[in-house]
């Protein structure tokens, strides 16, 4: 505790760091305040059916990522997820479309153009998602709409408001990245997730204490222990690396190496981060969309469709895990290019001891990545399916979401990245860091010294 208080004092003494943290907290407060501003023409007291719809199943994930704004019919109801979807599409384009491949190689100017295209695509997605949300709102909570409301005018006005709300959230995220601390978009997602934690925790405590025949307090303590183990596993996964020794020559004389220094290439076991889960989750949202279409048409849904719409079923989790494994390999191939890494090492007079530069080096790195990607993908799939296993222990669905999946990995990754940035600011000014060792490894395995 003394170390923690001393660190807080050090943070306050660093003017730039103090300013960045206060700016981040200010923008976070604005985001949370906007989550409770209801769309014009909506009676918030009549949204019971919508809140019940988002308490369980896949819809609860959408509500979690928006910090409850989805069930509140808020101006921020669609959250930051349309931008995430657009970013995924643009990243896929950068892998298969030559024009975007060229932009990716143009450095900062190319990155700005790709960001601009991502914003345009975000608006395009919002123009489809906003009306879909409003139609669902009308079906689930028709009583919340004012009787004198003109539906067509309400649709047009609310679509503009929802789109503007999501773009404003994106602007807040970018300002946090530029002027605050941490990655703004990731922090926005984390705020939405963690905002649901106190309520979910309280409901689980009440449920266990009232259910004395089902284990009561003992079972609740077991849940907390299991959650702690899963969090430790997620931290190990996020920070896991495989280091390849690389010899860099400082200068060369007559073909003889002089002053060589050995460095390492840290290859991540979790190189794809949470992207495989996000990709797989997007695909697994298709069954629930088809189910709603079938239900609206009055037809009976097939048992297969019903099973795939239940995120606690074995069929759903098996397909979900296989998709995560496949997307882990796919996204790792996008983010890590062994050939480019080999060329960069050769250009900088670097080599892996015992391996020839060029093609042999690329094949060696590719072989190492293949070996560490498989256990990483399996580990990722297990953690992603942990909420379903928690459900088998009768953990309430709201609290079970924190036992794994995208929510837990985002929380762990964002917290580690933010702490790493704070650590770096402190150590640059010769203050002690957040840990006695003075080292926190972030999501990319880089240590702050």
**Residue pLDDT, tens place only, 330-341:** 878 777 778 888
Q: What is d(CA 384, CA 396) in angstroms, rounded to the nearest whole number?
A: 17
**Other CB atoms within 10 Å distance of the CB of residue 237:** 20
Query: Directed axis angle between helix 15-34 and helix 184-194, to 10°?
Result: 50
Q: What is the mean pLDDT of residues 82-110?
A: 82
DSSP string, 184-234: HHHHHHHHHHHTTHHHHHHHHHHHHHH-GGGTHHHHHHHHHHHHHHHHHHH
pLDDT of residue 199: 81
What lies within 8 Å, CB to CB, of 41 at 6+ separation is: 145, 146, 149, 154, 158
Q: Helix count (H) and strand count (E) of the chain? A: 20, 5
Q: Is pLDDT above 90 for 25?
A: yes
Q: Is pLDDT above 70 for 295?
A: no
Q: Is 313 left (phi over 0), alpha (psi -120 to 50) or beta?
A: beta
CATH for 1-195, options being 3.20.20.70, 1.10.3370.10, 3.30.1490.110, 3.40.50.620: 1.10.3370.10
Q: What share of the chain is helix, strand, coil (3-state, %, to 5)?
A: 70, 5, 25
Q: pLDDT digit string (tens) for 45-83?
A: 777 777 776 766 666 777 777 778 888 888 998 888 888
Q: Is pLDDT above 60 for 250?
A: no
pLDDT of residue 56: 63
pLDDT of residue 252: 43
Whole-number percent of the chain with pLDDT over 90: 10
Q: What is the mean pLDDT of residues 226-239?
A: 79
pLDDT of residue 258: 46
Please answer whether residues 365 and 310 qualify as being in contact, where contact means their C-beta atoms are separated by less than 8 angstroms: no
Q: pLDDT digit string (tens) for 155-214?
A: 899 999 999 999 999 999 999 999 988 888 888 888 888 888 888 888 888 887 776 555
Q: Is pLDDT above 60 for 433?
A: no
Q: What is d(CA 1, CA 9) in angstroms, rounded to the nearest whole number?
A: 13
pLDDT band at 1 (very low <50, low <70, confident <90, very high): low
Q: pLDDT digit string (tens) for 268-289?
A: 777 766 678 777 776 776 666 5
Residues of the chain with CATH 1.10.3370.10: 1-195, 217-449
User: Does the predicted model carry a pTM greater than 0.85?
Assistant: no
15 vs 397, residue with greater confidence? 15
Q: Is pLDDT above 70 for 303?
A: no
Question: What integer best gives the mean pLDDT of the chain?
Answer: 77
Q: Is pLDDT above 60 for 298?
A: no
Q: In what order do the strands lie in the sheet with 261-268?
A: 261-268, 241-248, 350-351
CATH 1.10.3370.10 fits domain 217-449: yes
Q: What is the mean pLDDT of residues 243-251?
A: 64
pLDDT band at 255 (very low <50, low <70, confident <90, very high): very low
pLDDT band at 445 (very low <50, low <70, confident <90, very high): very low
């Amino acid at each position: 505790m003394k170390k923690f208080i001393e660190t807080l004092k050090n943070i306050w003494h660093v003017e730039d760091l103090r300013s960045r943290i206060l700016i981040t907290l200010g923008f976070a407060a604005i985001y949370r305040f906007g989550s409770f501003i209801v769309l014009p023409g909506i009676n918030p007291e009549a949204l019971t059916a919508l809140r019940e719809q988002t308490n369980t199943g896949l819809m609860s994930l959408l509500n979690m990522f928006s910090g409850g704004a989805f069930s509140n019919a808020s101006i921020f109801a669609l959250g930051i997820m349309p931008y995430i979807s657009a970013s995924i599409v643009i990243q896929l384009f950068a892998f298969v479309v030559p024009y975007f491949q060229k932009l990716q190689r143009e450095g900062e100017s190319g990155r700005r153009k790709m960001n601009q295209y991502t914003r345009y695509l975000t608006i395009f997605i919002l123009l489809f998602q906003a009306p879909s949300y409003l139609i669902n709102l009308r079906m689930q909570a028709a009583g919340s709409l004012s009787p004198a409301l003109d539906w067509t005018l309400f649709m047009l006005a609310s679509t503009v408001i929802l789109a503007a709300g999501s773009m404003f959230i994106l602007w807040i995220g970018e300002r946090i990245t530029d002027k605050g601390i941490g990655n703004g978009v990731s922090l926005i997602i984390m705020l939405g997730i963690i905002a649901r934690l106190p309520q979910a925790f309280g409901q689980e405590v009440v449920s266990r204490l009232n259910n004395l025949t089902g284990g009561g307090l003992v079972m609740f303590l077991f849940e907390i222990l299991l959650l702690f183990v899963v969090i430790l596993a997620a931290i190990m996964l996020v920070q896991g690396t495989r280091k390849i020794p690389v010899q860099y020559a400082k200068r060369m004389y007559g073909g003889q190496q002089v002053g060589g220094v050995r460095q390492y290439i840290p290859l991540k076991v979790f190189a794809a981060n949470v992207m495989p889960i996000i990709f797989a989750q997007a695909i697994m949202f298709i069954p629930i969309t088809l189910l709603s279409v079938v239900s609206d048409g009055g037809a009976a849904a097939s048992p297969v469709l019903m099973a795939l719409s239940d995120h606690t079923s074995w069929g759903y989790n098996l397909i979900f895990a296989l998709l995560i494994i496949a997307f882990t390999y796919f996204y790792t191939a996008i983010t890590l290019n062994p050939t480019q890494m080999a060329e960069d090492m050769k250009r900088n007079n670097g080599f892996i001891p015992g391996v020839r530069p060029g093609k042999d080096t690329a094949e060696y790195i590719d072989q190492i990545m293949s070996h560490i990607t498989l256990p990483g993908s399996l580990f990722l799939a297990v953690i992603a399916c942990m909420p379903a296993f928690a459900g088998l222990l009768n953990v309430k669905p709201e609290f079970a979401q924190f036992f794994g999946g995208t929510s837990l990995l985002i929380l762990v990754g964002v917290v580690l990245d933010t702490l790493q940035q704070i650590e770096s600011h402190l150590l640059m000014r010769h203050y002690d860091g957040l840990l006695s060792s003075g080292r926190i490894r972030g999501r990319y395995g880089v240590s702050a010294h």
